[in-house]
């Protein structure tokens, strides 16, 4: 039963002054009808408002901290800037109630219904939302740190520029949602359905998307540093201008995704599906594509130095004129790939499978191609000076004018290879000498010295041939990133000298 004096006093604008004079007073307003009143700014903290009707009541700026609100009715009420800290709002219906700027820190909203409400700039830090229904509610600019949305209905909600640090969205269904410019550091979206959701400009540092459905999501300009996208399904995602430094996308399906201008430094795409990936525009530095599927990828003139493509599937990829100097490609699949005039200088191509690939004009100087399969390839005008081709297969390969000077070719198969003008200088080996000398202990040291001397001489010849090839060839494949300008200046100098002569 409500206290009659309290009921009358609360309607008076002097309520706050009167209450401040009575220390420790707990207002009793139970089972009271306060509908339609203007109670804005009232101090109703700790008040008992159980089963009270507040329909259409103006409670803007009111202090309801720790008030008892079980069974209260707020239909058509207004709670803008209201203080609802530590309140028990479980099972209450607050559909459509405006609560702009309200504070609900540590409040319990379990099983509450707050559909279509405006909670812009609200503070829900630490609030309990289990089994709540918030469909269509606006949380924009709010503070929702550490909030748990697991099992909460948030369809149609908006979270622009919210602070959702360490928030939990595991298993939620939130399609075509909006987290633009939101702070989601260390948030969790494990196994969530986020198809079509926008994360433009969001802060997603160390955010976890393991097993999430991010198909068609827009991460333009987002910071995904050290984010976890393991097993995420993201067909057709947009990562334009996103920062993905050390992002882990292991086993992720990101086929047909766009990475225009994205920074992928040290990102891990191990065994990820990246079909049709455009490698021309992302910033790649020590990016790991081990075992990744990159079928039909486009990397024309792309700078791929320092990347790891171990056992990657680059079948039918176009890497024409790409810079792959020193790139790790052991056991990679390059069937039908196009690498015309690409720079594969000192690349690791051991065990690579490239039947039918176009390697014409390619720079393979010093490349390790042991046990590689180049059968039916086009190696015309390629330069494999000093390359290791031990056990490699060049069956039915076109090798016109290819340069294999000083290459190691023990066990290399040229069965069916065709073409004129190929160079094979410096192919003498010391195997027989070493085999015969192996029986003589005294001869071993001498043989080793001879071998070392011969190898040094071979490396010197390779360096000389490489320099000569660089002077003759002005293609992208034949020049390093800095040698290009030097070569141009040197050529111009020679021409000036000729003119003066």
**Pick the residue with more confidence: 355 or 449?**
355
**Residue 140, both tokens:** 């924009």
Locus of tokens 């928030």: 167
Measured distance CA(266)–CA(163) in Å, rounded: 27
pLDDT at 220 over 60: yes
* Domain residue ranges in the chain: 1-83, 431-500
Average pLDDT over residues 331-345: 97
Query: Which residues touch 165 (CB under 8 Å, ≥6 apart)?
Result: 145, 146, 183, 184, 185, 186, 187
> In CATH, what is the architecture of 1-83?
3 Solenoid (2.160)
**Pick the residue with more confidence: 418 or 428?**
418
Question: How high is the pLDDT of residue 496?
Answer: 44
- The string of pLDDT tens digits covering residues 111-121 is 999 999 999 99
Cα dihedral 188→95→50→103 (10° resolution)? 50
Average pLDDT over residues 261-288: 95
pLDDT at 152 over 50: yes
Task: Supply the DSSP string of 297-308, one letter for each residue.
Answer: -B-TT-B-TT-B
The beta strand positions in 320-431, using DSSP E, are none
pLDDT at 221 over 90: yes
**Pick the residue with more confidence: 479 or 124?**
124
Query: Which residues touch 347 (CB under 8 Å, ≥6 apart)?
Result: 324, 325, 326, 327, 328, 329, 364, 367, 368
Average pLDDT, the chain: 89
Q: Is residue 426 very low, low, confident or very high in pLDDT (cuts 50, 70, 90)?
A: low
**Pick the residue with more confidence: 378 or 410?**
378
Q: Is residue 469 very low, low, confident or very high in pLDDT (cuts 50, 70, 90)?
A: low
Q: What is the pTM of this model?
A: 0.83
- The string of pLDDT tens digits covering residues 239-249 is 999 999 999 99
Q: Is residue 228 very low, low, confident or very high in pLDDT (cuts 50, 70, 90)?
A: very high
pLDDT at 488 over 90: no
- The string of pLDDT tens digits covering residues 76-110 is 999 999 999 999 999 999 999 999 999 999 999 99
Measured distance CA(471)–CA(491) in Å, rounded: 8
Q: Which of 133, 64, 56 lies closest to 93 in space, CA to CA? A: 133
Locus of tokens 């700027």: 101
Tell me if 303 sits within 8 A of 282, measured CB to CB: no
pLDDT at 213 over 70: yes
């Amino acid at each position: 039963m409500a206290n009659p004096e309290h009921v009358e006093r609360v309607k008076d604008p002097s309520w706050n002054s009167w209450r401040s004079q009575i220390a420790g007073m707990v207002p009793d307003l139970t089972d009271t009808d306060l509908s339609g009143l203007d109670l804005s700014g009232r101090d109703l903290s700790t008040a008992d408002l159980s089963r009270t009707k507040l329909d259409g009541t103006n409670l803007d700026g009111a202090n309801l901290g720790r008030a008892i609100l079980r069974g209260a009715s707020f239909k058509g009420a207004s709670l803008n800037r209201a203080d609802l800290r530590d309140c028990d709002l479980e099972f209450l219906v607050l559909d459509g109630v405006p609560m702009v700027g309200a504070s609900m820190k540590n409040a319990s909203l379990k099983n509450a219904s707050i559909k279509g409400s405006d909670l812009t700039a609200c503070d829900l830090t630490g609030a309990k939302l289990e089994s709540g229904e918030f469909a269509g509610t606006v949380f924009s600019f709010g503070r929702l740190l550490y909030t748990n949305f697991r099992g909460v209905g948030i369809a149609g909600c908006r979270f622009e520029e919210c602070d959702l640090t360490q928030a939990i969205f595991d298993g939620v269904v939130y399609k075509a949602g909006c987290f633009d410019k939101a702070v989601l550091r260390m948030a969790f979206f494990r196994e969530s359905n986020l198809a079509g959701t926008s994360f433009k400009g969001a802060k997603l540092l160390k955010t976890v998307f393991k097993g999430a459905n991010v198909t068609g999501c827009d991460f333009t300009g987002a910071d995904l540093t050290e984010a976890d996208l393991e097993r995420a399904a993201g067909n057709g995602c947009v990562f334009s201008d996103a920062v993905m430094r050390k992002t882990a996308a292991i086993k992720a399906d990101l086929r047909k995704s766009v990475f225009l201008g994205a920074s992928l430094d040290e990102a891990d795409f191990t065994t990820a599906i990246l079909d049709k990936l455009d490698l021309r525009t992302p910033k790649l530095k020590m990016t790991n594509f081990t075992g990744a599927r990159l079928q039909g990828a486009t990397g024309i003139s792309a700078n791929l130095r320092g990347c790891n493509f171990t056992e990657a599937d680059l079948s039918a990829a176009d890497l024409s004129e790409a810079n792959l100097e020193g790139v790790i490609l052991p056991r990679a699949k390059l069937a039908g790939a196009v690498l015309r005039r690409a720079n594969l200088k000192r690349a690791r191509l051991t065990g690579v499978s490239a039947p039918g690939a176009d390697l014409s004009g390619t720079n393979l100087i010093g490349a390790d191609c042991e046990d590689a399969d180049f059968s039916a390839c086009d190696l015309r005008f390629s330069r494999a000076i000093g390359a290791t081709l031990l056990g490699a297969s060049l069956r039915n390969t076109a090798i016109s004018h290819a340069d294999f000077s000083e290459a190691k070719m023990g066990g290399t198969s040229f069965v069916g290879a065709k073409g004129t003008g190929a160079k094979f200088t410096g192919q003498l080996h010391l195997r027989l000498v070493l085999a015969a000398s192996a029986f003589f202990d005294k001869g071993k040291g001498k043989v080793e010295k001879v071998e070392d001397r011969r190898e040094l001489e071979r490396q010197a010849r390779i360096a000389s041939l490489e320099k000569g090839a660089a002077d003759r060839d002005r293609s992208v494949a034949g020049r390093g990133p800095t040698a290009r300008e030097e070569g141009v200046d040197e050529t111009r100098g020679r021409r000036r000298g000729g003119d003066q002569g």
